[in-house]
Amino acid sequence: MTKFTDLNLSPKVLQAVEEAGYETPTPIQAGAIPPALEGRDVLGIAQTGTGKTASFTLPMITMLARGRARARMPRSLVLCPTRELAAQVAENFDTYAKHVKLTKALLIGGVSFKEQDLLIDKGVDVLIATPGRLLDHFERGKLLLTGVQIMVVDEADRMLDMGFIPDIERIFSLTPFTRQTLFFSATMAPEIERITNTFLQGPARVEVARQATASETIDQFVALFKPSRRDRADSEKRRTLRALIEAEGEKLTNAIVFCNRKVDVDIVAKSLKKYGLDAAPIHGDLDQSVRTRTLDGFRKGELKLLVASDVAARGLDVPSVSHVFNYDVPSHAEDYVHRIGRTGRAGREGRAITICGPRDDKNLEDVERLLQKQIPRMADPAAPAADVETPEAAEVEEAPKPKRTRSRRSDKKADPKPEPKADQAVEQTVEQSADEPRPDPKPEGGARGGRSQDRGRGGKNDRDNNVVGMGDHLPSFIAMSFEERRAS
């Protein structure tokens, strides 16, 4: 069995690894570290939670131990898609480089430019940044990338999803052609394949698991959700989530709840807190200080439920997450792998439960097609309360309908007799007219309440004496029916 001592790492790095409590490298670390130390480009493909971060931090620290950085010209560059992942990479460097004198700078949004400029001006050995903030510093003339010896792209497929690929290509063009490139991704989309073919030179390909696979230590389930009414779908879905959380009982030590939309993150977190559950939201629209404080509380165990958008799906290393709940089935199948990868890390057991409504069937099919297996189904624990209606509930739901009917037909409400059908109404009219004399009937009272007939021919009352509902001219087929009745 391979150990870290077999990987040609520097003694000071090995000492830091040992103090961190690690002896045996993961498969991606054992495969990527040796070619990286040889100066070769590396293309690493592994599912999330397999230790990719140490796969590039350990060889980088070993190689950068010799030399010194110049002002505004970092010696190495690590690109990350999100602030949280960049901060986590910085923590890894602090852990493994504590016996080596290396300087680093973290360039992310939500932090003052002035503070970051001061670090860059002193010269840094390791620059960890998100693409947008890095280009901001470059365009302001505060940063030069011509001295980069090692460049790392972490979570490249997430870069693609977030639209950073044009920025990545530009950053590649700003670095020296002779740089060493370490490229890591969980999936290999065609666009990612194109970039690796363009910017990597004869890379050592290290693939330790089938692309886009979930860890076997994670138990996956789908809770089928069907709302009773469309206008109640959102509230009933939140009730289903609460029921799933409560059903896990003591097995749930902490959990991440993923939503597709930022607005749902806030609503779900507020709902969970309303019902006495310890929850807090995290998404891209929150201030960096709030996001950092929330994540720190979750890592320390002070927060039990973290409600997040996909900004937290990639790279967050909280080893003790016991559960992941997908409030929504992700619209991109690859995101499902990264979401549930927050649990079951480093060989631990985990549990992932996804709520699937009628509109999520297509997205669920895409996920199962990617995983090449069907996810076991489970019953909705809130279904009996949502689907079974008591007589009282049925009366409440039907109550508005008579009100609407009375408002439209209030003038007909007083008539206790049912209205005859159209054919019956015509037949009754015909039968009544057949018994009356045909030629110019002049009853005492007009057809409209006994009005006087003194107005003469052509007046209004002459029109009123015509057959009701037949207009001024009687159709011939009606007249024929009259003759038949008289003959009989």
pLDDT tens, position by position, 331-356: 888 788 888 888 887 678 899 999 99
Q: What is the mean pLDDT of residues 174-178?
A: 94
**Residue 468: pLDDT above 60?**
no
Q: 3-class DSSP state for residue 218?
A: strand
Which architecture characterizes domain 4-207 according to CATH? Answer: 3-Layer(aba) Sandwich (3.40)
Instruction: Report how far residue 94's alpha carbon sits from residue 77's, in angstroms, rounded to the nearest whole number.
Output: 16
DSSP per-residue string spanning 103-172: -EEEE-TTS-HHHHHHHHHH--SEEEE-HHHHHHHHHTT----TT--EEEE-SHHHHHHTT-HHHHHHHH
CATH fold, domain 218-388, is Rossmann fold (3.40.50)
**Which residues are within 8 A (CB) of 61 and not within 5 positions of it... i.e. 6 or more apart?**
10, 13, 93, 96, 97, 100, 102
Give the number of other Cβ atoms within 10 Å of residue 83's Cβ. Answer: 21
Q: Bigger pLDDT: 148 or 319?
A: 148
Alpha-carbon distances of 184 from 95, 165, 196, 428, rounded to whole Å = 21, 14, 10, 86
**Residue 185: pLDDT above 70?**
yes
Question: Which residue matches tokens 């300087």?
Answer: 103
Quick: pLDDT tens for 210-268: 556 677 889 999 999 999 888 999 999 999 999 999 999 889 999 999 999 889 999 99
**Which residues are within 8 A (CB) of 274 and not within 5 positions of it... i.e. 6 or more apart?**
none
Quick: pLDDT tens for 260-303: 988 999 999 999 999 999 999 988 788 878 888 898 899 888 99
Q: Are 175 and 77 in contact (CB under 8 A)?
A: yes
**Residue 409: pLDDT above 70?**
no
Instruction: Report how far residue 354's alpha carbon sits from residue 380's, in angstroms, rounded to the nearest whole number.
Output: 11
Alpha-carbon distances of 488 from 121, 433, 481, rounded to whole Å = 117, 16, 11
Instruction: Report how far residue 157's alpha carbon sits from residue 475's, in angstroms, rounded to the nearest whole number.
Output: 79
Residue percentage of the chain with pLDDT more than 90? 47
| The two three-digit tokens of residue 42, written as one number | 């590396």
Quick: pLDDT tens for 98-146: 999 899 999 998 788 888 999 899 889 999 999 999 999 999 999 999 9
Give the number of other Cβ atoms within 10 Å of residue 383's Cβ. Answer: 17
**Residue 466: pLDDT above 80?**
no
Domains 4-207 and 218-388 share a fold: yes
Q: What is the mean pLDDT of residues 45-51?
A: 76
Instruction: Report how far residue 55's alpha carbon sits from residue 17's, in angstroms, rounded to the nearest whole number.
Output: 12
Give strand pairing partners of 354. 222, 326
Taken in order 328, 331, 336, 340, the sign of the CA dihedral is negative
So where are the chain's domains?
A: 4-207, 218-388, 422-487
Question: Which residue matches tokens 């006087």?
Answer: 452
Q: What is the pLDDT of residue 152?
A: 96
Instruction: Report how far residue 306's alpha carbon sits from residue 282's, in angstroms, rounded to the nearest whole number.
Output: 7
**Residue 202: pLDDT above 70?**
yes
Q: Are 293 and 306 in contact (CB under 8 A)?
A: no
Give strand pairing partners of 353. 221, 325
Q: What is the pLDDT of residue 456?
A: 44
Nearest to 333 by CA among 360, 308, 306: 360
| The two three-digit tokens of residue 411, written as one number | 């003038």
Instruction: Report how far residue 273's alpha carbon sits from residue 4's, in angstroms, rounded to the nearest whole number.
Output: 45
